[in-house]
Amino acid sequence: MPKDIHTGRYGIEPGTTVKLDKLDPSDTSGFTGKDSDEPQESQKINEQLRGLQERLYAEHKRSILVILQGMDTAGKDGVIHRVFQGVNPQGVRVAHFGVPSQEELDHDFLWRVHQQTPEKGEIVIFNRSHYESVLVERVHKLVAPEVWQRRYKEINDFERLLSDDQTTVLKFFLHISKDEQKKRLQERLDDPTKEWKFSSNDLPERRLWDEYMSAYEDALSKTSTKWAPWHWIPSNHKWFRDLIVSRIIVKMMEKLDMKYPKLSQDPKSIIIK
């Protein structure tokens, strides 16, 4: 597995105008994924993440929010399964946001989201997120344009609040091509063990591909900030998608310089009888 992939190239700088047709969802930084040491490298990254997560949990001073967005079949579930494989479930939680309930609709659009943000020492993964309010609700015209347009600022302010409270926010857009989505949808129909993943909504949503791409471009352009950066992740190749997400998370957690807490007295002075 390549050691010299520059993950920084997948970050979206604040103020950048994103054009998704200029970003190759099949990109692998020139590598094939067939390197003989791929399993060892994946295991090494998983072990690093496990150790860092344990320190985060033990230190109990900060938290991490990982946001996964992407079109259907982009691999949100796959990332959760493979990137966080073997991590202590005591300190990791997945939150999924479906169609809002009536109670949730009776509050502001961030109300239900704030209740799912991580506690100190915890990693929370959003499988879809508050960004549905500037994606699905925009594309399906569920709210007026002036409503979803103001939400970009409200999202930025919300994520700034989390950041100021020692929550590191990492956002990943899993970028696949329309052709790759077609292939993966067909695989669900062809494989009896995957049929359950196919939804009657998949095809109507697919017909709105261009509208979703425009909505994603605006979201990525207007909400990638210093305190909550977006990364676009080429996701046509699952092995590369998982590798890049893993490396970005590990690199970020290493920068936190987390420490195991120490006992208030010298451990050598404690006698266990």
**What are residue 198's phi and psi, to 5 degrees?**
-80, 130
Q: Are 10 and 248 in contact (CB under 8 A)?
A: yes
State mean pLDDT over 86-96.
Answer: 92
What was the pLDDT predicted at 263?
A: 84
Of 86-90, 206-210, 250-254, give the lowest mean pLDDT range.
Answer: 86-90
State mean pLDDT over 53-73.
Answer: 96
Domains and CATH numbers, the chain: 7-258 (3.40.50.300)
What would the DSSP string read from start to end of 89-154? GGGEEEEE--SPPHHHHTS-TTHHHHTTSPPTT-EEEEES-GGGGGTHHHHTT-S-HHHHHHHHHH
Task: Specify the DSSP class assigned to residue 62.
Answer: -
C-alpha span between 203 and 205 (Å, rounded): 5
C-alpha span between 79 and 66 (Å, rounded): 11
For residue 53, which of 104, 23, 80, 92 has the smallest C-alpha distance? 92
Q: What are the pLDDT digits (tens) for 96-146? A: 998 889 999 999 999 999 999 999 999 999 999 999 999 999 999 999 999
What was the pLDDT predicted at 1?
A: 44
Whether pLDDT at 271 is above 80: yes
Half-sphere exposure of 27 (CA within 13 A, CB side): 18
Q: What are the pLDDT digits (tens) for 164-210? A: 999 999 999 999 999 999 999 999 999 999 999 898 888 999 999 99
